Each structure stands twice: as C-alpha cells, then as structure tokens.
Amino acid sequence: MSNKQKIDPKLEALLDELRDVPVRDPRRAAQGRAQFLSQAVSVRTQTVSRNPLRRLNGWFDKYKQPKEKKGMTTFASIMTVLALLLGGGAGTVYASQESMPNEMLYPVKIASEEFRLNMAGDSVEEFALMLEFAQRRGDEIETMMGAGVEPTAENMLQLAQQTQMAAQLAGTLDGAAQLQAQNMIQNQMQRMLNLQENASEEGAILMEQTRAALQMQFMLAGGAGPGQEQDQGQEQGQEQEPGQGQGQGGPSEEDQGQSQGEPQGQGPADGSGQPETVPGAGNADETGEQFQNQGEDPCAAYYASLAQGASQENGGSNGKKGNSGNSGQGSQGESQGPVVYGLNGEVCVPPTVAP
Amino acid sequence: MNEAKLIQRARRLEGQALAEIYDAHNEAIYRYALRLLGDESLAEDCVSETFARFLKVLSKGKGPREHLQAYLFRIAHNWITDFYRRPAPETRPIDDELGLAGDDDPARAAFENMQSRRTRAALAALTPDQRAVITLKYLEGWRNAEIAAILDKPIGAIKSLQHRALAALKRILLDEDNEQ
C-alpha cells in the first residue's frame, strides 16, 4: 500500500530532482571505511573483556611485574599440556602451526603461542618468543597478500600489537641484549613498513595508524623507527649545533596527533547541539600533545647524555642506556650506530666530538 | 532473525559484524546526508560521525537491539540537525568543490542546477523532523512506520509532520513561482 500523501505534481517534480545524487568519490568512501574499522579495532582493544585469543594487548601487563605462580594456574597449565600431549592434541597443535588466520586451526596456533609465552623462563626468552610471534604475523600477512587475500584489520592489529609488546619487552632487557633486541625490533618495524606499502589502501591506512603509535611508543622506550629514518633523516640531515633548538620539524612531520583521530565528547544520537568535533580534524590525543608542545630542543636529552658521557671520560661512548627513556639510544653509535631521534622524531646529529 | 544476530555480534564489537553493518548502511546514510546538506565533504563527515557515535554507544555496552537502520539514520539525522543549528553555517564553495571532478556525471549536473539548490534550500527551511520526513519518504521511499522508528514518534505524528512539511514546501517553492 502506498502511504504517500497526495502531493502536488510540481512539488513532486522538484523533489524528484534531488533523488539522484552524484557518484561518491570511491577514495573517500574507502578512507571512511578504513577509519571506521580502525576505530572499531581501537575501541575493541580498549573495551573487550579478557579473551586470551583476542585480548593480545593484555599480555604485556603480565610481564611488567614478576610473575606470581598461582597454584591452580600452574596445575591447569600442566593439565592442559598433558591433555594436549596425551590426548591426541599434540598432533592438532603441531598441525595448527602452519595455519593461517582464516583457517579453523588458527585459534589453536594462537593458544599454543600464548602457552609458550606463559612457560617462558625469563624476559630474554619472553622477548624472543614475542618477536618470533610478531614475525609469524608478518609471515601470515605476506602469505595472505601473496594469495590475493586481503588481511583483515585484526590481522594487522595483531602484528602491530605483538611488535609493540616485543618492543616493550626489549626495554626490560639489560645492556647489550637490549641494543640487540632494539635492532631486531627495528627490522620488524621495517617489515611492517614494507607490508604497508604493499597493502590495499584501506590496509595501508590502518597500518600507518598502528605503526605511528608503535613508533611513538618505541621512541618512548628509547628506540628509533625505520620510518623515521627514511622520512626524516634526509630532510633534516644537515649539521646542527648542539644545544640550539631547531624550532622546526617535529609536530608537522609526524602526525601522531591525528593518527588515532577517535572522535570524543559527543553523546550518541542526542542532538544536543554541542560543538562538533569533525572526524579527521586531528584531535591530538594526550600523547600527541605531550610531544608537540615542547618548546625545548627535542634533542636536548640526547646532547645531555653525550655531554655526560664526555665528562666522565670513560673512553668509548657505548653502554649508556637511555636513562629517562626519551633520549634515543644514549650516546652509543656515534660512528656507526643507529640514528638517534629526539622527542619529535628529529634526527639528532651528534656534534663534532670534542677532545 | 539475521539482523538481531548481527546486532548482537556488533554489541560484542566483533570486527566482521561491524564491517558488515558499515557496508550495508554507509551508502544510504551518505545519500541521505548529501541530499540534505548538498555538500559531498559534509556528507562524508556525517557518515564518519554517525558510525563513530554508533561505535561509542556499543563500546559502552548500549546500542540498539533492533531497527538498526532506523537507529543509524537517527544518529545521522541528529548530526544534520546539529549542523543546521550551528550559529554561522559555513558558506561552502559548492560550485568549486563539485566542479572539480566528474563533470560528465549527469546526476551531478542535475544535483548542481539552480532548481535543485533552491529545493534544498527550501528543505533546509523546514524543521529538522519535517525535513527528515520529506527526505525519507519521498526521496528514500521509506514507510511511515519506519520513519516513526527513526524519529521516535507515533505514526500519526509522522503524518502530521508530512502534511505540514508539504504545505510549507509548496508555499516556499510554488507560491514564490506564482508571485514571480
């Protein structure tokens, strides 16, 4: 039944002209979809209850503090192992190791990885395992891309999160082990960059957002991301005097503020007339703000650590771990070590070494 | 019912379900917003904000249990209403923006012509609810019951809104013509 009220034909003709709308820009449509999926992933990781198969970013919390072995947990772990080994599950677990994210045995693979992590004896082993699993995620995504299957947002997120957790674990290591671990993380991040380049537009946007967050976190831990090396190293590669603020570069170079442009502060469907925060307007999150409003030389901490190293006259300038975590990788590598970045991702060029 | 299951999964923030919902409804919301706003960029903003708000509701453990489409359109409707309430609506360079690409698109030509703009301006002069009724009913082809679900009003109120909206449009668009 037509429930349309009788309408003046002239008026109907006028309204008809609004019926057809121009073709939507497919690029903007894809961007909008990617943005939504990214927000969905972000919301899910912040909100979901503890599901070990999905709540990957909860893993790190277990490792920040010394593990307390609880009786029942240990017992349950042992029983699980026995059940898997003796109950015919071993074959399943073994078979699952080659499974892909869209396959039935994949959850078994993830569960077995978590089990191995739980059984890790020390932080070195935990780091090695976490990195191995992050590399597996990269392998899986590469394989999927090779087979023409587009990785899902979840796949991308797992890769980013596990790399992130490996980076955090690397920060807990000591001395040379930490440096070595950080180099391995850099390689992993470089791989993420490659995957991003080969991903679909939607996937690339997702990867960029997660990778930017990862870079920020890695920088906090005193490391340097490969993307920065490529993107910024050449732009700011000129010599600069230590101690003089360069007054440029940071915030606009690295759009961390908008990378997680999750709308905030609006009630749903309330029509309240509150000022709107248009998505994409770059609501800098707190982390982004923290780094953008620094008026001081972003490399100051790095230079300070250099000066301290020189004053102590300890010969080679190696071996100073980032004390506050923000100063890049200490003074190691003046001659050939990794590039050191300041707070905003600038390349901190060491001064000509004074005798 | 499929939609009920889909909503359940979305309430658990399952990525696949959320993607399905987005894919199923974003185009219609875009069209709805574009017809009312007359600006592609604003329409995209409306879509983004609609789904962002939807996510936010879900993340708080709330959200619809049925009538998903109506729920999403209601969010979009509120966003557009808020837009019109803003004190100084921006004067968008519609001509420039729309003329950048797709000049050979006949739908775009019709969309841009003077009469269409005049009709959109007349729609903009209606109250938000009247505007929604006219757009959903005569441009989207929705039924009164569906519109009632969006606007959260009884069907009788929808009929009344429709009656007054048509009268207002006729006065604005046709009587002006007669005067000229």
**Res A297: pLDDT:** 53
Q: Which residue has the higher pLDDT, B121 or B113?
A: B121
What confidence category does residue A353 fall into, taking pLDDT thresholds of 50, 70 and 90? very low
**Res B97: pLDDT:** 43
Which three-class secondary structure string do you get for chain A? CCCCCCCCHHHHHHHHCCCCCCCCCHHHHHHHHHHHHHHHHHHHHHHCCCCCCCCHHHHHHHHHCCCCCCHHHHHHHHHHHHHHHHCCHHHHHHHHCCCCCCCCCHHHHHHHHHHHHHHCCCHHHHHHHHHHHHHHHHHHHHHHHHCCCCCCHHHHHHHHHHHHHHHHHHHCCCHHHHHHHHHHHHHHHHHHHHHHHHCCHHHHHHHHHHHHHHHHHHHHCCCCCHHHHHHHCCCCCCCCCCCCCCCCCHHHHCCHHHHCCCCCCCCCCCCCCCCCCCCCCCCCCHHHHHHHCCCCCCCHHHHHHHHHHHHHCCCCCCCCCCCCCCCCCCCCCCCCCCCCECCCCCECCCCCCCC
With CA atoms as reference, the chain A residue closest to B73 would be A269
Contact A154 B22 (CB under 8 A): no
Report the distance separating Cα B152 and Cα B166, nearest Å: 20
Does the pLDDT at position A52 exceed 60? no
Q: Which residue has the higher pLDDT, A260 or B3?
A: B3
Report the distance separating Cα B47 and Cα B33, nearest Å: 8
Which residues 23-42 of A have a C-beta within 8 angstroms of B? 23-25, 28-29, 32-33, 35-37, 39-41
CB-CB: which of A19, A268, A278 is closest to B75? A268
Minimum distance, in Å, between the CA of residue A196 and any CA atom of chain B:
20
A49-66: average pLDDT:
49
Contact B15 A278 (CB under 8 A): no
With CA atoms as reference, the chain A residue closest to B131 would be A15
Mean pLDDT (chain B) is 83
A221's CB contacts (< 8 A; 6+ apart) are A167, A168, A170, A171, A322, A325
Which residues 148-177 of A have a C-beta within 8 angstroms of B? 152-154
**Res B62: pLDDT:** 85
Query: What would the pLDDT profile of A68-121 be if each residue is shown by its tens digit?
Result: 555 566 666 666 666 665 555 667 777 778 888 878 888 888 888 888 877 777
Contact A18 B119 (CB under 8 A): yes
**Is residue B73 within 8 Å of B29, Cβ to Cβ?**
yes
Minimum distance, in Å, between the CA of residue B151 and any CA atom of chain A:
11
CB-CB: which of B71, B111, B123 is closest to A20? B111
B152-168: average pLDDT:
92
Mean pLDDT (chain A) is 61
The domains of chain A are located at: 33-246, 296-355
Complex-level ipTM beyond the 0.85 threshold:
no
Query: What would the pLDDT profile of A3-35 be if each residue is shown by its tens digit?
Result: 556 788 888 888 888 888 888 888 888 888 888
**Res A174: pLDDT:** 79
Q: What is the CA radius of gyration of chain A?
A: 25
**Is residue B73 within 8 Å of B32, Cβ to Cβ?**
yes
**Res B44: pLDDT:** 94
Q: Which residue has the higher pLDDT, B124 or A259?
A: B124
CB contacts of B111 in chain A (<8 Å) are: 18, 20-22
Report the distance separating Cα B51 and Cα A37, nearest Å: 10
The domains of chain B are located at: 1-106, 113-180
Minimum distance, in Å, between the CA of residue A117 and any CA atom of chain B:
26
Average the pLDDT over each of B40-49, B80-89, B105-114, B139-148 and give the range with the smallest value: B105-114
Report the distance separating Cα A170 and Cα A157, nearest Å: 19
Architecture of domain B113-180: Orthogonal Bundle (1.10)
Does the pLDDT at position A265 exceed 60? no
Does the pLDDT at position B24 exceed 90? yes
B23-37: average pLDDT:
91
Q: Which residue has the higher pLDDT, A222 or B157?
A: B157
Query: What would the pLDDT profile of A184-241 be if each residue is shown by its tens digit?
Result: 887 887 888 888 777 766 667 666 666 666 666 556 555 444 444 444 434 343 333 3
B36-44: average pLDDT:
88
Contact B59 A28 (CB under 8 A): no
Contact B107 A23 (CB under 8 A): yes
Global confidence as pTM: 0.45
Instruction: Give the bridge partners for A347, in sequence order.
Output: A341
Does the pLDDT at position A173 exceed 90? no
Contact A262 B52 (CB under 8 A): yes
Q: Is A200 on the interface with B (CB under 8 A)?
A: no
B47-73: average pLDDT:
90
With CA atoms as reference, the chain A residue closest to B41 would be A28
With CA atoms as reference, the chain B residue closest to A28 would be B44
What confidence category does residue A334 fall into, taking pLDDT thresholds of 50, 70 and 90? very low
**Is residue A106 within 8 Å of A96, Cβ to Cβ?**
yes
Under CATH, to which class is B1-106 assigned?
Answer: mainly alpha
